[in-house]
A = this chain, B = another copy of it.
């Protein structure tokens, strides 16, 4: 198996775009090659099987979705109150809007995880760690809201972004700023 990391990542990024644009159904070796602008057959030199490819895509998407260290550090310089939580929620939406392909690819992968135990295990680990981190972070940073508040924010934002990316006109029935404002206010309790 070929291990040219630069080219491998370029192929994985192409795979993410293909997943977002064509869905799991369109995710073929040839589609990836075409998207990445490399000769047909290249992707199959890098990924042993379609299954293998998807596991690697999951890792790549996780990398791309993680917020940057800097942006977290930057936010932590601000006062630790409700308005900071509001800012974090806005950041999540901004990130989703800025990299729709990654979010949509992740949604495709989550559906795939339903039938591929290996992928499910990997994604479960990632998402559980993420939620745990958020709960701990909220407590340690002395941000307002208990554990349940973080969970309500988590599921509320998950649902909202899911709707915003798949059925934007339904999400648009709710004003973004007002939604986040009310969500945070009431979740914190």
A residues adjacent to B (C-beta < 8 A):
20-25, 104, 107-108, 110-115, 120, 123-124, 127-128, 131-132, 148-149, 151-152, 154-160, 162-163, 165-167, 169-170, 173-174, 178-179, 182-183, 186-187, 189
Contacts and interface: CB of A to CB of B under 8 A. Distances in A.
B115 A22 contact: yes
B23 A167 contact: no
Contacts of A113: 166-167
Q: 8 nearest interchain CB pairs? A: A159-B159, A158-B159, A155-B159, A110-B166, A25-B25, A155-B160, A127-B170, A186-B186
Nearest to A127: B170
Nearest to A189: B186
A133 to B, nearest CB: 12
A166 B114 contact: yes
A158 to B, nearest CB: 3
